[in-house]
Amino acid sequence: MVKLFIGNLPREATEQEIRSLFEQYGKVLECDIIKNYGFVHIEDKTAAEDAIRNLHHYKLHGVNINVEASKNKSKTSTKLHVGNISPTCTNKELRAKFEEYGPVIECDIVKDYAFVHMERAEDAVEAIRGLDNTEFQGEPPSLGRGLNTRFCVENRLDRRGLG
């Protein structure tokens, strides 16, 4: 079984629609949609590779979806929620910005926010201090659009920002 991440799902997308799309490539064991992203569990590696190859950047309801293998997160990583991401920002650019503070394990942009998994908690603290409410890619903090960087705790945001 291979777990696939589907990002940038349009609001109109339904679980049945996603399931049908992926069943073209292999047996879908599970399909879950969470707002504008989701996960599909597909039976085998070959089917998963075919689905990724054919559906990554597939246009669904006028929106290019992202399909990739779901990454196992290190239990020792520190997960950050980053809000107010510019629509033109790429994973590579955001990752590079956070890598100024330390090693990044994973970086996933979901519409105008992202999740960044940093290897060390102390680097995550420095990233929050250095990047919260700062301009990144033309999103100035004076307009309330600066980066909004916070710790994630048990899949919920810690509003204090320091875990």
Residues 43 and 104 in one domain: no
Query: Which is more confidently placed, 110 or 130?
Result: 130
- Residue that terminates a domain, selected from 14, 47, 69: 69
- Mean pLDDT computed over 21-28: 96
Instruction: Identify whether 106 is part of a domain.
Output: yes
Residues 43-57 have pLDDT tens digits of: 999 999 999 999 999
Range among 56-60, 86-90, 104-108, 158-162 rated most confident: 56-60
Specify the pLDDT at position 159: 39
Q: Which domain holds residue 27?
A: 2-69
Specify the pLDDT at position 49: 95
Residues 145 and 84 in one domain: yes
- Mean pLDDT computed over 98-107: 89
- The pTM score is 0.48
Instruction: Identify whether 162 is part of a domain.
Output: no
Query: 16-20, 72-76, 79-83: which has the minimum mean pLDDT?
Result: 72-76
- Residue that terminates a domain, selected from 27, 49, 69: 69
Q: Assign residue 50 the CATH number of its domain.
A: 3.30.70.330
Instruction: Identify whether 163 is part of a domain.
Output: no
Total domains in the chain come to 2
pLDDT band at 75 (very low <50, low <70, confident <90, very high): low
Taken in order 81, 83, 89, 93, the sign of the CA dihedral is: negative
- How many separate helices (H) and strands (E) can be counted in the chain? 4, 11
